[in-house]
Structure 1
Amino acid sequence: MAHETLIGLVSQYSPSGLEQKAAEWLTERMQSLGYSHSFIDGAGNAVGIMGDGPRQVVLLGHIDTVPGNIPVKVNEGVLFGRGAVDAKGPLACFTDAVSQLGEVEGWQFVVIGAVDEERNSCGARFAVTKYRPEFTVIGEPNHWNRVALGYKGVAWSEITVRRSQTHSAGILRTASEALVKTWLAVQEFAGKYNQDKPRVFDQILLTLRGLQSGEDDFWQWATLQLDTRLPPGISPEEWYTWLKEVCGDAEVERKGFAVPAHVCDKNTPLVRAFLSSIRAQGGTPAFVYKTGTADLNTVMPTWQCPALVYGPGDSTLDHTLDEQVSLEEYEQAVQVLVGALTKLSA
């Protein structure tokens, strides 16, 4: 059945932490498509390998999604379902394209459906130690005729203000009031940094993820959770140093895994192969730079090879109730990838 890989994979609901059934389904699908071998690795990633040549291309997608099971259906050539966009569409595209390409003498193509990308990227952190690709393609939705060359870095933190108990009619600030002042100071700092940077990709982007407060007999406290998207040129270490200075006596605690921004080189055989293949499919190629973060940021500091991000779908639908991908666009993306890998490995 046409689009069986895409529809089948999207039908396997797999929010982060519950990817096993989807990984089992995908590795079985890879086997049926003629992969040299497929397996589930030590992190739970679904892996398919085509060929055994010394020159390696890794196509790294992710098999997990955010929570929220959306009924899977096809209506007028459009597939609806959780992960249709982010990012089972790109992962299925990788799977089908490599199957169509088949074995190429001197090359090995590794398709990975990584777990946990929507949380701490445990799957990509495991995979980065297992492969040394000559070229890397990361699977994220950016439409069939575009390639993404940059993703912002990310640093999560928790900021806490503590104050001794005070009467509500007193003149001293409560912990909650002090935390608000701290948050405004962080916003002001980012605003000053951003004021001469018109491109959003080059700005510090702050997202307030949560607020909590509490007290006991002698103390009160207030905490906020902060998600910071970092532009090129600001490392997570530098950001945490600045944040502690801005926050004064507030406690700043790092959370999760911070990664720097990554920008791919435009002038590589990989990029040229994709641009040529998009044109061959009748498209006008374009570059995009994303304000989010992807497994690109996790693996490239180690792999340090030519890379780009590719996949069908509209990224504005990521994580929404309306995730959908056109089956026509999906097929266009598969053919672009087949053409690009054919040109790359010629």
Structure 2
Amino acid sequence: MENNNETLVGLLSHYSPTGSVKNAADFLVQKMEMIGFDKSTTDSIGNVIGIKGNGPNQIVMLGHIDTVPGEIQVYQEGDVLYGRGAVDAKGSLAAFTDAIAAVSIHSDWQLIVIGAMDEEGESNGARFICDQYQPKFVIIGEPSQWNRITLGYKGVQNSILSVQKSKTHSSIGKSSCDILLENWQQLRFQVNQFNDGKSMFDQILASVVKMDGKAEDFEMEAEMVISTRLPESITPKIWVNDWLGKMQDVQVSTSNPGIPAFKADKNSTLARAFLGAIRSGGGLPGFVNKSGTSDMNIVMPKWQCPVVAYGPGDSTLDHTPNEHINIREYWQAVDILKTVLIRLGVGSLLQ
């Protein structure tokens, strides 16, 4: 492995599933200090914060340092580097770090790289920073491949559907499971009608995570846990009240208020800077909307500024046992990030 891959390889070598990120965070703080950041530290809940520049205009580059569980041996075959988080999303976080290290920041700008903890959990890292920065631009670190930018992420709402009723003989009445399944089938029919002719990003994507039924003494109970990815037009509150709330004889509960969908402006100054940078790097730029949810959904309703998500890697490898990244693509993404910063007037390349 070449020395110039040290940021990426080092991050991958420090396995950091959600809740166990300290070793990886300590590595990145030290690495940032070594390569010229003005300040690098962890905040009170464990986010890595790296700062370069002292100007009043902030750009926040928000990645995450935690990964899903499932450690993968870190090794390289040719141009391919394997390891948990190579794509989701230590590749992006390392690219942010290496790009900023290569740029001299103008006096009126400040660049802030954040390696958030808990993105794969409840996004507590992103929630914690919402009130601490006032950025002019935001770049979210998630894989999009080097020549594409992500504009939108769907919303999400997890819900519990349950039916309780007095026990009856199976020959003379419906069970609680029957009632719950009939309601689920009717809901799916309504969802399919809503989705007809719409793109993925504008559809409702509902799936059953778990289902259970039991009968004790005089009572029967059925329970179904569902996870629903939501379009911009349907907030979690609307989904729970106007869709799930109309089910017959079904109790609906949620453990959290859900996360609304978010979609960025493709004509923003930031998006145009990325499109120009990708073209100048020999690529054909493209836009992506994702069916998942990211920290973009958490911070942008508060920050309300131009944003894109960007990072190297193939997102279909997220969470897989075969997660890997192409080193050449990684450095292409670093070059794109440097060019974007120059196009935005933030800095110039170090000689």
Task: Place the TM-score, normalised by the shorter chain, in its bin.
Answer: over 0.9
Deviation, 1:281, is 1.2
Q: Which amino acid aligns with 2:146?
A: W
Q: Distance in 1 between matches of 2:255 and 2:215?
A: 23
Whether 1:179 aligns to 2:185 is no
**C-alpha displacement at 1:212, in angstroms?**
2.1
Q: What secondary structure sits across from 2:105 in the alignment?
A: coil
Deviations, residues 43-81 of structure 1 (Å, cap 9, x unaligned): 211110111100000000111111111111111111111
CA distance in 2, matches of 1:174, 1:32: 65
Give the RMSD, CA atoms, in angstroms: 1.3
Q: CA deviation at 1:248?
A: 2.2
* Matching residue of 1:76: 78
| Deviation of 1:100 (Å) | 1.0
Which residue is equivalent to 1:170?
Answer: 171
TM-score scaled by structure 1? Answer: 0.96
> Residue 146 of structure 2 is aligned with which of 135, 144, 167?
144
Residue 193, structure 1, aligned to residue 194, structure 2:
yes
Q: Distance in 2 between matches of 1:293 and 1:139?
A: 13
| Amino acid across the alignment from 1:180 | L
Distance 1:11 1:102 in 2: 29
Mapping for residues 82-101 of structure 1, pairs under 5 Å:
82-101=84-103
Deviation by residue 1:244-275 (Cα, 9 ceiling, x = unmatched): 33322211111335111111111221111111
1:154 alignment partner, one of 137, 156, 169 = 156
Give the TM-score taking structure 2 as reference length. Answer: 0.95
Give distance in 1, aligned partners of 2:54 and 2:264. Answer: 27
1:182 and 1:300 mapped to 2: Cα distance?
Answer: 35
Give the whole-Å Cα distance in 2 for the aligned partners of 1:274 and 1:244. Answer: 40
Q: Give the structure 1 partner of residue 112 of structure 2.
A: 110
Q: 1:211 to 1:102 in 2, by over 3 A?
A: farther
Distance 1:257 1:114 in 2: 21
CA distance in 2, matches of 1:131, 1:106: 16
SS, match of residue 111 in structure 2: strand
Q: What's 2:309 paired with?
A: 309
Residue 337 in 1 paired to residue 347 in 2?
A: no
What secondary structure, in the 3-state scheme, does the structure 2 residue paired with 1:256 have? Answer: coil
Identity of aligned residues (%): 47
Q: What SS does structure 2 have at the residue aligned with 1:3?
A: helix
- Divergent runs of 4+, >4 A: none
Query: Is the CA contact 1:134–1:306 (under 8 Å) kept in the aligned structure 2?
Result: yes
- Unaligned segments of structure 2, at least 5 residues: 347-351
Q: What is the letter of the counterpart of residue 175 of structure 2?
A: T
Question: Which 5+ residue runs of structure 1 have no aligned equivalent?
Answer: none
Q: Distance between the aligned counterparts of 1:116 and 1:241, measured in 2?
A: 29
Residue range with higher mean Cα deviation, 53-62 or 269-278 = 269-278
1:54 maps to what in 2? 56
The one-letter code of the counterpart of 1:270 is: L
**Map of 1:126 onto structure 2:** 128
Please, which of 37, 40, 48 is the counterpart of residue 39 of structure 2? 37
Contact 1:57 1:109 survives alignment (8 Å) = yes
Q: What letter matches 1:297 in structure 2?
A: N
Counterparts of 1:234 and 1:315, CA distance in 2: 25
